[in-house]
Amino acid sequence: MARVDWLPQPRRRPERQAQAPRIPPRTPQPAPTTEPGSPATTGWWPPAVLVFAVALALALLLTPKAAEPRRVSGVASAQPTVKATATPQPEPAALPEGVPVTETGAGSWHVVPGPGRDIGAGPKILTYTVEVEDGVDLRGFDHDVDTILADPRGWAGVTFRRVDANPAVRISLTTPGTARRPDLCGFTIPYDSSCRLARERRVVVNLARWLRGAHSYDGDLAGYRAYAINHELGHALGHGHVGCPAPGAPAPVMMQQTFGLSNTYLAHLNRAEPGAAGKVEPDGAVCRPNPWPR
Q: In this predicted model, what pLDDT tens digit does every residue of 125-183 receive, in sequence order? A: 999 999 999 999 999 999 999 999 999 999 999 999 999 999 999 999 999 999 999 99
Above 80 in pLDDT, residue 35?
A: no
Between 230 and 63, residue with greater pLDDT:
230
The answer to whether the pTM exceeds 0.75 is: no
Pick the closest to residue 133 from 114, 107, 113, 112 (CA basis).
107
Above 70 in pLDDT, residue 278?
A: no
Pick the closest to residue 256 from 227, 284, 293 (CA basis).
227
Residue 291 sits at the vertex; the CA angle it makes with 183 and 205, to the nearest 5 degrees, is 25
Which domains, ranges and CATH numbers included, belong to the chain?
109-240 (3.40.390)
Above 60 in pLDDT, residue 29?
A: no
- First-to-last alpha carbon distance for the chain, in angstroms, is 169
- Among the listed ranges 40-54, 101-115, 154-168, 242-256, which one has the minimum average pLDDT value? 40-54
Q: What letter does residue 168 receive in the DSSP assignment?
A: S
User: What pLDDT is stored for residue 88 in this prediction?
Assistant: 81
Residue 35: Cβ within 10 Å count? 8
Residue 125, CB-side half-sphere exposure with 13 Å CA sphere: 7
132 Cβ contact list (under 8 Å, min separation 6): 109, 110, 112, 138, 141, 172, 173
Instruction: pLDDT band for 271, please (50, 70, 90 cuts).
Output: confident
Q: In this predicted model, what pLDDT tens digit does every residue of 231-252 receive, in sequence order? A: 999 999 999 999 999 999 999 9
Query: How many helices (H) does the chain have, and how many strands (E)?
Result: 7, 7
- Residue pair 217/224 in contact (Cβ under 8 Å)? The answer is yes
User: What pLDDT is stored for residue 18 in this prediction?
Assistant: 45
Residue 23, CB-side half-sphere exposure with 13 Å CA sphere: 4
Above 60 in pLDDT, residue 32?
A: no
Above 80 in pLDDT, residue 8?
A: no
Percent of the chain with pLDDT over 70: 69
